[in-house]
């Protein structure tokens, strides 16, 4: 089945650890027809689960229990179905999925068929929070929309340029070779987007810029060092567990602590993985919520909230300092995703005292920021500090469109 290039509507599904973003994007015009986001999906928070859905100039917010991502997708498709009844042009022709970890099986954007489905099952342990969830949604789409093609865009592709000295683990060579162990990095779709948008915003060529990108989400978070348009390091590693402290993930930890807990608690590997991925991070320290926004709301008078916030900030600052060193000073520092865009107090604390790295925030501009792309750096800052809302869905649509138009949809 072939489609006219002016008539391909792509339903992009961007599955986060505690969220589901979706958009119907008409390609190649890059026109967003419908968009929405389910938040607080399947996690312990003080707030209620909610879906925000936008169609045209109308915005709906629905509070609804969302025990898992399948429930979120079903509700989103129901709302999209209501839109289609009002305007048939809103229908979607293909699904496009962000898939976190392809393992060693896939190296480029891929159409889904039976072989791909089987191989995806083997990637579950590599991103224990994301991959099983994404597969669940892929399988749901396959069963409910059997004739609709599906395409995968992988979150690791942008980081293929990380050099060996940063991607290699100090482990026995035979073990590394046997299992393909190396830092692969994540949030590549987002880091690539904000890198390109930052350069467009400042009217600079990406081939000349040194950029530190901070993707700070309510679920996952990572920092990326980008040199002349290429990723050279990412705070995440072989799995998304490495790096920053996240909503339920511990981030960097002494491996000896893991072994000690396993022996003392008689934990199985599954118990241990569950603890590190789903019971640690912000949730583990703050306890009453995994959402850093709720931590920020409770900082005054709550010592546990204050400590959680300080721990989070220090870890982000550590990577900014490291990446400024390997880049030999950054031209651009960019904040993106939910926390990076919505929380001025977080940006202020992260940038505090960074003048020696050439990074100086304008506190007034930062505090007044509301939306869109903005330069929040002081006029005398050597490094431009930007807020750039990410648009992973658009990047996914671009990649999926190129792959879809190569051949007939025979998946």
Find the helix or strand (DSSP H, E) in which 36 lies. Answer: strand 31-39
Give burial (CB, 10 Å; 0-12/13-18/19+) of 315.
buried
Residue matched to tokens 């229908």: 91
Residue 183 maps to a domain? no
Q: Are both 397 and 355 inside the same structural domain?
A: no
Half-sphere exposure of 356 (CA within 13 A, CB side): 4
Domain encompassing residue 55? 8-157+393-404
Q: Is residue 175 part of a domain?
A: no
Average pLDDT over residues 69-84: 90
Is residue 81 domain-resident? yes
Same domain, 145 and 254: no
Rounded distance between C-alpha atoms, residue 59 and residue 373, angstroms: 22
Whether residue 307 is contained in a domain is answered as: yes
Q: Name the CA radius of gyration of the chain, rounded.
A: 21
pLDDT digits (tens, 9 = 90+) for 208-261: 999 999 999 998 999 999 999 999 999 999 999 999 999 999 999 999 999 999
Q: Could you give the CA distance from residue 291 to residue 45 in angstroms, rounded to a whole number? A: 6
Q: Verify that 277 and 138 share a domain, yes or no.
A: no
Examine the domain organization and report whether 222 and 151 are in the same domain: no
Check if the beta carbon of residue 74 is closer than 8 Å to that of residue 62: no
What is the rounded CA–CA span in Å between residue 18 and residue 217? 10
User: How far apart are the C-alpha atoms of 243 and 234, rounded to whole Å?
Assistant: 8
> What's the CA gap between 36 and 13, in Å, rounded?
10
202 shares a domain with 143: no
Q: Are residues 85 and 151 in the same domain?
A: yes
First-to-last alpha carbon distance for the chain, in angstroms, is: 11
pTM for this prediction? 0.88
Query: Does residue 44 have a pLDDT over 80?
Result: no
- pLDDT one-digit tens code per residue, 176-219: 999 999 999 999 999 999 999 999 999 999 999 999 999 999 98
Q: How confident is the model at residue 410, as a pLDDT?
A: 44
Q: What CATH number should be reported for the domain holding residue 348?
A: 3.30.420.40
pLDDT of residue 38: 92
Residue 203 and residue 140 in one domain: no
Of residues 19 and 24, more confidence is placed in 24
Contacts of 307 (CB under 8 A, 6+ apart): 285
Under a CB-based contact definition with an 8 Å cutoff, are residues 353 and 390 in contact? no
Question: What is the number of other CB atoms lying within 10 angstroms of the CB of residue 61?
Answer: 10
Q: Using the structure block, give the residue that is written with the tokens 């699904």.
A: 95
> What is the band of 411 on the pLDDT scale with cuts at 50, 70, 90?
very low
Query: Do 102 and 199 belong together in one domain?
Result: no
Range in 45-59, 143-157, 268-282 the model is least confident about: 45-59
Q: Is residue 73 a part of any domain in this protein?
A: yes
- Whether residue 178 is contained in a domain is answered as no
Total tally of structural domains belonging to the chain: 2
289 plus 346 within the same structural domain: yes
| Mean per-residue pLDDT over the chain, rounded | 93
Nearest Cα to Cα of residue 282 among 313, 256, 239: 313
Rama region for 221: left / alpha / beta (φ>0; ψ in -120 to 50; rest) = beta
Proportion of the chain above pLDDT 70, given as a percent: 96
pLDDT, tens digit, 9 for 90 and up, residues 299-349: 998 999 999 999 999 999 999 999 999 999 999 999 999 999 999 999 999
- What pLDDT score was predicted for residue 56? 83
Q: Is residue 179 part of a domain?
A: no
Buried b (16+ CB within 10 A) or exposed e, 229-249: bbbbbbbbbbbbbbbbbbbbb
Q: What is the mean pLDDT of residues 46-71?
A: 87
Are 113 and 201 found together in one domain? no
385 three-class SS:
strand
Ramachandran angles phi, psi of 384, nearest 5°: -80, 130
Task: Specify whether 40 is located in the same domain as 121.
Answer: yes
CB count, 10 Å around CB of 145?
15
- The answer to the question of residue 254 being in a domain is yes
Same-domain pairing of 90 and 145: yes
The pLDDT of residue 68 is 86
- Residue 42 has a pLDDT of 78
Residue with tokens 């045209």, as numbered in its chain: 56
The set of catalytic residues is 155
Residue among 136, 181, 194 nearest 332 (CA): 194
Q: What is the pLDDT of residue 264?
A: 98
pLDDT at 4: 54
The mean per-residue pLDDT over the stretch 60-81 comes to 89
């Amino acid at each position: 089945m072939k489609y006219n290039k002016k008539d391909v509507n792509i339903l992009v599904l961007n599955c986060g650890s505690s969220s589901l973003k979706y958009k119907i994007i008409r390609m190649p015009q890059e026109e967003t027809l419908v968009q929405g986001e389910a938040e607080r999906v399947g996690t312990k928070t003080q707030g209620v689960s909610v879906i925000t859905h936008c169609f045209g100039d109308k915005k709906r917010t629905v509070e609804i229990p969302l025990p898992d991502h399948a429930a979120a997708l079903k509700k989103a498709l129901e709302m999209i179905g209501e839109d289609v009844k009002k305007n048939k042009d809103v229908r979607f022709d293909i699904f496009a999925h962000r898939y976190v970890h392809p393992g060693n099986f896939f190296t480029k954007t891929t159409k889904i068929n039976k072989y791909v489905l089987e191989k995806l099952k083997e990637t579950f342990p590599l991103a224990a929070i994301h991959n099983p969830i994404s597969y669940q949604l892929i399988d749901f789409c396959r069963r409910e929309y059997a004739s609709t093609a599906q395409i995968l865009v992988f979150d690791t592709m942008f980081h293929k340029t990380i050099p060996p000295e940063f991607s290699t683990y100090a482990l026995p060579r035979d073990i590394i070779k046997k299992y393909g162990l190396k830092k692969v990095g994540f949030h590549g779709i987002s880091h690539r987007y904000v890198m390109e948008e930052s350069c467009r915003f400042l009217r600079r060529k990406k081939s000349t810029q040194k950029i530190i990108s901070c993707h700070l989400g309510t679920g996952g978070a990572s920092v990326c060092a980008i040199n002349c348009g290429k990723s050279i390091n990412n705070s995440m590693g072989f799995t998304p567990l490495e790096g920053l402290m996240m909503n339920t993930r511990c981030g960097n930890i002494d491996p000896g602590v893991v072994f000690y807990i396993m022996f003392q608690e008689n934990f199985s590997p599954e118990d241990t993985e569950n603890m590190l991925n789903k019971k640690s991070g912000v949730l583990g320290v703050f306890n009453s919520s995994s959402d850093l926004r709720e931590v920020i709301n409770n900082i005054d008078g709550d010592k546990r909230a204050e400590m959680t916030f300080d721990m989070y900030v220090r870890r982000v600052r550590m990577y900014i300092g490291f990446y400024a060193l390997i880049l030999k000073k950054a031209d651009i520092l960019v904040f993106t995703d939910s926390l990076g865009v919505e929380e001025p107090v977080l940006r202020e604390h992260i940038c505090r005292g960074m003048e020696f790295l050439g990074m100086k925030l304008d506190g007034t501009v930062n505090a007044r920021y509301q939306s869109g792309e903005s330069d929040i750096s002081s006029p005398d800052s050597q490094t431009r500090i930007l807020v750039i809302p990410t648009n992973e869905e658009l990047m996914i649509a671009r990649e999926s469109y190129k792959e879809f138009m190569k051949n007939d949809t025979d998946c």
